[in-house]
């Protein structure tokens, strides 16, 4: 899960790209970068947080002086390929680009057939990141830069969609002589979100999240359709677009559960409202009789706690405090995740002492993080801790962009492949009780018409939760998974 932003502006847009990336920081903390264009190419990339892009500048605004341009693309990376050293994170940072022909690209998603794509193209990848399996086929299909047009951008996009299998919402930037193009593309199932909108000055904005567009002054936005290519260029005041492949959409369920900003809307559904609804059903059906307060694991459990309190009538209390700028789940290693929980979360004993606590969170993967949180709550004096999780039990790796590397990571599954009961998991994590949300509740909360679109939920319903044509591929990767730290698709 990464964050992407593209702007086709009427004036210098560098600081909007930069500020947009800051608002996308929750989607990726491995690296960040952007490329802007004004007839020349101005790239800027680094490992870690977006603020690292301003190293060496006394003022953030000075960044635009060295990187001018009215068209650009940017990326915050959540690493799902390559090593996690600083050197490798910087090398694999996006956007990636080629000079001849000039084309830059970034994406949110995961290409699962990279080796197959590699055998069909002439150019060799410079990095380990799977953006190569979108960038290189696109570059190979484009004509010399003097002849690039909307029609051959369509041809190249169709070729990419034919070759690449997986999930991707992608942005490309190229140019024909001095006429630049910003191109947006979604995979045929549009597993990853992408929205677009126009500011009053005529500039066009494309991003992973609607909340980012709002922050940058875009008042109205719409979702990009699945299997669609959109082109922005100076010759057309309105973008030209074409749906190249028509298939049923499979929107990622984890966007609604965890990744997306709660202020965002995805396919016409409020992320905030979906989470509150799931929590409300949990509150009505699983509220412990002796519970005194509902406490969210901040920030991921907050909306579920609001709903749980509404559904159960148990008062909501702020019993935990954390640094809101950093997210534990998307850190690269388990050691880093555990250290962040220890150092970044404070239990408020005045709120917790002597209480029977319902602790809410979005999901439960490995169990080590929630175990640490439960211990903090008990150390603050809680007499009981009941855990309620919005997401159904995770049982298989996501092969489409969420970094759950191995089938051995999931606390819900035993080594022999059998499911653990809620009572067994509660004992492992040190809770007095445990209950999860349900797939039916999740689907009801999102409210998709199944004839029109589905939720991609292969990580909780494996392999049937994946789009049909991917199920054989993901089953093969799952069967080949020996439980190592290496990701199955690598």
SS (HEC) of 349-364: HHHHCCCEEEEEECCC
The count of other CB atoms within 10 Å of the CB of residue 25 is 17
Residues 397, 475: contact at Cβ < 8 Å? no
pLDDT for 90 beyond 60: yes
Ranges of beta strands (E only) in 371-426 are 384-389
Instruction: Name the least confident of 47-56, 78-87, 177-186, 250-259.
Output: 78-87
Average pLDDT over residues 75-101: 85
CB burial readout 126-165, b (16+ within 10 A) else e: ebbbbbbbbbbbbbbbbeeeeebbbeebbebbbbbbebbb
- Residue 235 pLDDT class (50, 70, 90 cuts): confident
H/E stretch holding 198: strand 195-198
DSSP 247-279: --EEEEHHIIIIIS-TT-EETTEEHHHHHHHHH
Catalytic residue, chosen from 2, 106, 129, 252, is 2
- Tell the residue number behind the tokens 């690039």, with chain if given: 148
Residues 69, 178: contact at Cβ < 8 Å? no
Among 340, 305, 308, smallest CA distance to 319 is for: 305
Residues 21, 34: contact at Cβ < 8 Å? yes
CB-count burial class (<10 Å; 0-12, 13-18, 19+) for 11: exposed
Token digits for 437? 């949300």
pLDDT for 480 beyond 90: no
pLDDT for 32 beyond 60: yes
What three-state secondary structure class fits 188?
coil
Q: Phi, psi at residue 340, to the nearest 5°?
A: -65, -40
For the stretch 341-358, pLDDT in tens is 556 899 999 999 999 999
Average pLDDT over residues 325-350: 63
For the stretch 361-404, pLDDT in tens is 999 999 999 999 999 999 999 999 999 999 999 999 999 987 77
- Residue 57 pLDDT class (50, 70, 90 cuts): confident
Residues 133, 164: contact at Cβ < 8 Å? yes
Cα 351 to its chain centre, rounded Å, is 33
pLDDT for 331 beyond 60: no
- Tell the residue number behind the tokens 């947009």, with chain if given: 20
Q: How far is CA 391 from CA 280, 308, 368, in A?
A: 13, 13, 17
Where do the domains of the chain lie, and which CATH numbers do they carry? 3-247 (3.60.20.10), 258-480 (3.40.50.2020)
Rounded (10°) angle between helices 422-429 and 368-379: 60
pLDDT for 26 beyond 60: yes
Q: Is 252 a catalytic residue?
A: no
Average pLDDT over residues 298-312: 96
pLDDT for 489 beyond 50: no
CA dist., res. 341 & res. 348, Å (int) = 15
Average pLDDT over all residues of the chain: 91
Dihedral over alpha carbons 329, 333, 338, 344 (to 10 degrees): -60
Token digits for 143? 């004509």
Token digits for 442? 């999740």
For the stretch 128-176, pLDDT in tens is 889 999 999 999 998 887 788 899 999 999 999 999 999 999 999 998 8
């Amino acid at each position: 899960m990464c964050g992407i932003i593209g702007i086709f502006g009427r004036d210098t847009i560098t600081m909007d790209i930069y500020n947009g990336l800051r608002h996308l920081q929750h989607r990726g903390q491995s690296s960040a970068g952007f490329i802007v264009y004004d007839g020349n190419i101005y790239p800027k990339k680094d490992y870690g947080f977006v603020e690292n892009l301003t190293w060496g500048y006394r003022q953030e605004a000075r960044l635009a002086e060295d990187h001018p341009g009215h068209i650009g693309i940017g990326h915050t990376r959540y690493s799902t390929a390559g090593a996690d050293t600083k050197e490798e994170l910087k090398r694999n940072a996006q956007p990636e680009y080629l000079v001849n022909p000039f084309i830059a690209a970034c994406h949110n998603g995961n290409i699962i057939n990279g080796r197959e794509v590699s055998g069909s193209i002439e150019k060799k990848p410079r990095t380990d990141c799977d953006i190569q399996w979108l960038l290189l086929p696109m570059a190979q299909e484009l004509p010399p830069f003097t002849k690039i047009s909307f029609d051959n951008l369509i041809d190249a996009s169709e070729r990419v969609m034919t070759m690449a299998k997986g999930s991707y919402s992608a942005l490309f930037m190229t140019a024909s002589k001095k006429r630049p193009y910003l191109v947006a593309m979604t995979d045929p199932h549009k597993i990853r979100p992408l929205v677009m909108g126009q500011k009053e000055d005529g500039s066009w904005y494309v991003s992973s999240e609607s909340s980012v567009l709002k922050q940058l002054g875009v008042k109205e936005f719409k979702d990009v359709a699945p299997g669609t290519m959109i082109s922005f260029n100076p010759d057309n005041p309105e973008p030209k677009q074409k749906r190249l492949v028509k298939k049923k959409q499979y929107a990622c369920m984890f966007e609604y559960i965890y990744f997306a900003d709660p202020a965002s809307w995805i396919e016409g559904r409020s992320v905030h409202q979906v989470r509150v609804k799931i929590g409300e059903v949990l509150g009505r059906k699983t509220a412990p009789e002796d519970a005194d307060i509902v406490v969210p694991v901040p920030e991921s459990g907050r909306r579920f706690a609001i709903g749980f309190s509404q559904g159960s009538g148990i008062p909501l209390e702020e019993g935990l405090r954390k640094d809101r700028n950093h997210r534990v789940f998307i850190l690269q290693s388990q050691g880093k995740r555990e250290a962040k929980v220890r150092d970044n979360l404070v239990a408020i004993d005045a709120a917790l002492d002597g209480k029977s606590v319902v602790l809410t969170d979005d999901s439960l993967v490995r169990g080590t993080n929630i175990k640490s949180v439960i211990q903090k709550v008990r150390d603050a004096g809680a007499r009981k801790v009941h855990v309620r999780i919005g997401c159904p039990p995770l049982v298989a790796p996501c092969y489409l962009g969420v970094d759950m590397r191995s089938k051995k990571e999931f606390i819900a599954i035993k080594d022999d492949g059998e499911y653990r009961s809620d009572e067994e998991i509660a004992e492992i994590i040190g809770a007095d009780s445990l209950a999860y949300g349900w797939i039916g509740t999740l689907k009801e909360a999102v409210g998709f018409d199944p004839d029109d679109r589905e939720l991609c939920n292969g990580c909780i319903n494996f392999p049937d939760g994946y789009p049909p044509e991917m199920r054989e591929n993901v089953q093969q990767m799952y069967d080949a998974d020996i439980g190592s730290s290496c990701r199955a698709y690598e």
